[in-house]
Structure 1
């Protein structure tokens, strides 16, 4: 039995979801696992302020976030360092590393696991400073597009969602990188369409009542309800004969606004998303985050559309280039993709098979090796 300290960050819900799933799998295998929110290690109020600034930038001035992302996250021939270090992350990592060290000294884990890019910088810095006195560290890269904030050559191992991501990591850091696919709860893969003779799920019954005969298309806005033209997208889908289900996360204003649109079903945060996905025909995604990979696991084709800036733009395009989703550059392309993917046919089946094929390993088993 080993002790694992998993370091995440409450920036949205995706990184914490991966951390929680990893912890659950490790405990099931007989290990001890504890999760820590990196933002909670910052001086009083700083973590909340950083999260609020990020959320505000995404919602109100996405151009500003794109500028920050282009400057600090993407390779531009400077700041990343030839050895894979991101000097752009140095100030925050410098503030986090000693605080993380105190947690490590108190909990005495056998290994560290990062599910957030700044956590990867902090663990790398910790190992660089303390060498053999620091536990080995594994970075679980949750992004399809691996930006340089994930990269630090003093981490021990990287786990990635695709071969392309793993190759990028090893080229930049010289560290080993293995491909495991996304980390998704088993409830998503255990779903699927009801077998003949079985009663449909609650969502299957409800959606058939609301929009009989209309293909159900989920429109994702993440935990914060972030995205460009979300209600316009929902209206477009409703006018084209679909039943759009707008996943508003925790944004009650977005849900209230969308509730006034005819033919649109807006939902807040729900705990039975696997069942909803099992009753759905496609997902329109704008971030290439956890909702997108949960859809892949559930056998729901994914179409990237109007991605959020920064990691959203890069991730949506990386998913499409990997052949596991489609990217729609405009309204006509979106409706065309849904015509192929939201209804039965060989195109839909090929896309479902490609999406499920990305799940090639168990990240928890690789972490525990």
Structure 2
């Protein structure tokens, strides 16, 4: 990796939030991509956590409880606020959080660019407030937004954003209908972590995870916190109805789920075909070995599956962005939505037994792939627009 004189590099401020894993993962991926392109002046800030720590913890708990225990309420709120404009009463209220913290960050860090991986736009809101009061902004700082879903909630749209990075051409077109000019939108894909790649499924890789190369592998990822229901029932159905299928169940940080599954299947006659894992850092390796993926439709997980070319099964998506993500993928032929374990198990078995259907599903997924790595594309665009020559490691003259 080439290193350059830090004093001449643009400073990039990345604002994220810790509501779920995706926003933080996207922020880290962009930071790593900036470093890989020679820039080492990136500052990451959880804006809500640092500006309103008590409120941040309370709203995170409410978010997780509503998301897992009363999903229809969560979905209703999402649907009601989806057409919300930035200058509506509620929209302005949401974008006001962190405004004082932003002022202090601008004074302390003096960034050349600000990237948002969560739709909390205190900086653009601050600039527009200054303009309304006819107070000239101290600096003109370009603001970027990386949309981490396949559905567009209007909270992501703000006139103070200079450029949007989106997952698909469909999102770009939808932004166009809202008045965002095409040259302000880049179809990059959702940024993935450093090292995410699609390795060849070698014999050594199968051995590393204890899997057999001549049998189909169903990769089951219930989420980083292991919140997808009915994992045990689905595993039992798959093992009983297909004598060759292997299951790789990634429990994430949910040690209770991992222990419960291990206990239930300890004496199962097909227990050797069920492989349990905790948090897997190099998840792309398991994806390279998998025949299909069963998961919840979070934006980053979907992006990883698309990058790996994996057909998707999306189980009981929560109303809101999850369900809209799922419907988008299903409409494209890249995913199948299931609402109960019987339906899901039957659909998986049908896919692994039908080479033609499997190939068709893989082709549908490949059509959603972007040509370049999303994080690298985003980093390159932003550094260039800051006047930084990524090839020679210096500012343009």
Using the size of structure 1 for normalisation, the TM-score is 0.85
Q: Distance in 2 between matches of 1:311 and 1:248?
A: 22
How much does 1:161 deviate?
A: 0.3
Distance change (3 Å), C-alpha of 1:234 and 1:87: farther
1:360 paired residue number: 371
2:4 paired residue number: none
Are the aligned partners of 2:29 and 2:194 in contact in 1 as well (CA < 8 Å)?
no
Residues 235-250 of structure 1: pairs in structure 2 closer than 5 A: 235-241=236-242, 242-250=245-253
Residue 272 of structure 1 is aligned with which of 278, 282, 304?
282
How much does 1:92 deviate?
A: 3.1
Are the aligned partners of 1:125 and 1:154 in contact in 2 as well (CA < 8 Å)?
yes
1:183 paired residue number: 191
Are the aligned partners of 1:201 and 1:275 in contact in 2 as well (CA < 8 Å)?
no
1:58 paired residue number: 67
Q: How many residues align?
A: 353
Residue 259 of structure 1 is aligned with which of 245, 259, 262?
262
Deviates more, 1:155-164 or 1:300-309: 300-309
Q: Distance in 2 between matches of 1:292 and 1:138?
A: 22
- Name the structure, 1 or 2, with higher relative contact order (CA <8 Å, separation 6+): 2
Any gaps of 5 or more consecutive residues in structure 1?
Answer: none
**SS of the residue aligned with 1:303?**
strand
How much does 1:43 deviate?
A: 2.3
1:29 paired residue number: 37
Q: Distance in 2 between matches of 1:125 and 1:247?
A: 40
Are the aligned partners of 1:301 and 1:341 in contact in 2 as well (CA < 8 Å)?
no
**SS of the residue aligned with 1:200?**
helix
**SS of the residue aligned with 1:169?**
helix
Q: Distance in 1 between matches of 2:194 and 2:308?
A: 9
Residue 323 of structure 2 is aligned with which of 313, 325, 338?
313
2:395 paired residue number: none
**SS of the residue aligned with 2:264?**
coil
Deviations 1:177-226 (A, max 9, x none): 221112123633241322xxx5334444x123xxx864221222222222
Any gaps of 5 or more consecutive residues in structure 2?
Answer: 1-8, 132-136, 266-270, 385-397
CA RMSD of aligned residues (A): 2.6
1:115 paired residue number: 117
Using the size of structure 2 for normalisation, the TM-score is 0.80
How much does 1:8 deviate?
A: 1.0
How much does 1:335 deviate?
A: 4.0
**SS of the residue aligned with 2:219?**
strand
Distance change (3 Å), C-alpha of 1:96 and 1:290: same
Are the aligned partners of 1:220 and 1:285 in contact in 2 as well (CA < 8 Å)?
yes
1:207 paired residue number: 211
